[in-house]
Amino acid sequence: MQFLQTFAGLFANLGNLTWQMVVMWVIGGLLIYLAIAKKMEPSLLLPMGFGAILVNLPLSGAITQGETVGPINALFDAGMSNELFPLLLFIGIGAMIDFGPLLEKPWLMLFGAAAQLGIFVTLVLAGLFFDLPDAASIAVIGAADGPTAIFVANTLGSKYLGAIMVAAYSYMALVPIVQPPVIRLCTTKKERLIRMPYQKGNVSKTTKILFPIVVTMLAGLVAPASVALVGFLMFGNLLRECGVLNALSETAQNVLANLITIVLGLTVAGQMTADKFVQPDTLLILALGLVAFIFDTAGGVFFAKLLNLFLPEGKKINPMIGAAGISAFPMSGRVVNQMGLKEDNQNFLLMYSVSVNVSGQIASVIAGGLILTLMGV
């Protein structure tokens, strides 16, 4: 009899199981499936998916229970409450980016700015349903930049951090599905057939070294709250371009970026507990995130169409490259190039679309800083 009671006691924790926890297991499993089977942002979706299961087991020892601090909460306090993990990841991202093609044609930076339209449209829409700090955090999903979305949401103390991160990275991975219909809707066949011959320019090493320094200074003067975001991104790029710290540059691109990505995924999963995530607000956040991506894409495209009104024949811009101004690098640049080749197999837009895509990296970070400045941070 005592044996049966002991055996039954092993499963007593099942009484603490709720249907919301089961829903989170399914969501965690879906994220793992997308990471492995569909190769959608696997470095982040896989740890997020596993973490979502980990923290939604009844009385999970991975998160704080009573006075016992769980390891995931300890990681959150160590690197997320002070925004350290996203900033360290920016060093790795900066070290990966080659701004050379953009510096050859700096006017392409305008498209990166135009493609942030979705952030500000979504800010207005989200403000109808959420408090202003949460609305601002949700709007930054439109930056198409996971670390920026995390940084802003955490800085503003949003209680929807988990949902915001899932939306940001999911839509980044879904760029090949989300963007093409919007681009086709906003352009004509004739516009999509516009060819843009590429002439390679020459960018000196001095220019590449000065660029991250100058951008950081300008961003700091315009939007002081963006200095941490822009500065860490540009510091990573300076490691790449200086030519004397190759070992550090490679470490930032690989070891640092990969390690922080794993920890970041698990840490944010700690905010995906059933009581916080299984709410109607989560579906609304996902919908607003989609709105942000659509308006980002349309903003870049219509900006190109506006410029074409003033450009002579032979100098017209293919409006599709404007859609690459979101920060989802390099997916958006590839999508635009593939669409160009599908319309005309001799229409190579890759160098233009990737350059615009790189400008979106800078613009999204500055936009995140502007949001923080507007919020008085």
Q: Would you say residue 72 has pLDDT above 60? A: yes
pTM comes to 0.82
For 60, other C-beta atoms within 10 Å of its C-beta total: 18
Residue with tokens 């811009």: 317
What is the rounded CA–CA span in Å between residue 156 and residue 175? Answer: 27
- What mean pLDDT is predicted for residues 68-92? 86
pLDDT value for 124: 92
Which tokens is 302 given?
């219509």
What is the rounded CA–CA span in Å between residue 151 and residue 268? Answer: 11
The secondary structure of 271-327 as a DSSP string is T--HHHHSSHHHHHHHHHHHHHHHHHHHHHHHHHHHHHTTSPTTS---GGGGGGGSS
Tell me: the pLDDT tens digits for 208-243?
Answer: 999 999 999 998 888 787 788 889 999 999 999 998
- What mean pLDDT is predicted for residues 271-293? 87
What is the rounded CA–CA span in Å between residue 79 and residue 71? Answer: 12
Q: How confident is the model at residue 302 (pLDDT cuts 50, 70, 90)?
A: very high
Q: How confident is the model at residue 9 (pLDDT cuts 50, 70, 90)?
A: low
Residue with tokens 């503003």: 156
> What are the boundaries of each domain within the chain?
97-374
CB 274 within 8 A of CB 23: yes
Residues β-bridged to residue 231: none
User: Which among 173, 191, 98 is positioned nearest to 335, based on CA atoms?
Assistant: 173
CB 16 within 8 A of CB 59: yes
Tell me: the pLDDT tens digits for 314-332?
Answer: 788 899 989 888 877 777 8
What is the rounded CA–CA span in Å between residue 99 and residue 42? Answer: 25
What is the rounded CA–CA span in Å between residue 82 and residue 10? Answer: 39
Higher pLDDT, 96 or 200: 96
Structural element, H or E, at residue 53: helix 42-54
Residues 6+ apart with CB under 8 A from 204: none
Indicate the SS3 state at residue 68. strand
pLDDT value for 157: 87
Side chain identity, residue 365: V
Q: Would you say residue 256 has pLDDT above 70? A: yes
| Average pLDDT of the residues of the chain | 86
What is the rounded CA–CA span in Å between residue 31 and residue 68? Answer: 29
Please tell me the least confidently modeled range out of 7-11, 50-54, 338-342.
7-11
What is the rounded CA–CA span in Å between residue 368 and residue 137? Answer: 9
Q: How confident is the model at residue 375 (pLDDT cuts 50, 70, 90)?
A: confident
Tell me: the pLDDT tens digits for 335-368?
Answer: 888 888 888 888 888 888 888 888 888 888 888 8
pLDDT value for 7: 54
Q: Would you say residue 247 has pLDDT above 70? A: yes
Q: Would you say residue 177 has pLDDT above 70? A: yes
Q: Would you say residue 102 has pLDDT above 60? A: yes
Q: Would you say residue 197 has pLDDT above 60? A: yes
Tell me: the pLDDT tens digits for 16-48?
Answer: 888 899 999 999 999 899 889 988 778 878 888
